């Protein structure tokens, strides 16, 4: 069983730990969002390359009017 350390910390040390934890959480959320975007881009790229070209670009697709 792990022993619990009950010594008191100064206010400055507590604030440093809170700031460090906040920075770590921000980096984690940023990395998580980047990972989700990369996964979505990979799925989209796969679907684009494995779809028949007639579905993506039907005849006359370039005519806007």
What is the DSSP code string of 10-41? -HHHHHHHHHHHHHHHHHHHHHHHHHHHHHHH
d(CA 36, CA 44) in angstroms, rounded, equals: 12
Q: Are 62 and 54 in contact (CB under 8 A)?
A: no
Q: Where are the domains of the chain?
A: 11-47
pTM (predicted TM-score): 0.65
pLDDT of amino acid 55: 81
4-52 pLDDT, tens digit per residue, is 677 788 999 999 999 999 999 999 999 999 999 999 999 999 998 888 8
Confidence of residue 58 (pLDDT cuts 50, 70, 90): confident
Kindly tell me if the per-residue pLDDT of 53 is higher than 90.
no
């Amino acid at each position: 069983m792990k022993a619990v350390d009950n010594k008191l910390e100064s206010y400055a040390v507590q604030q440093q730990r809170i700031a460090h934890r906040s920075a770590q959480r921000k980096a984690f959320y940023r990395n998580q969002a980047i990972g989700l975007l990369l996964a979505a881009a990979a799925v989209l790229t796969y679907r684009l390359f494995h779809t028949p070209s007639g579905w993506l670009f039907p005849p006359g697709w370039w005519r806007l009017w």
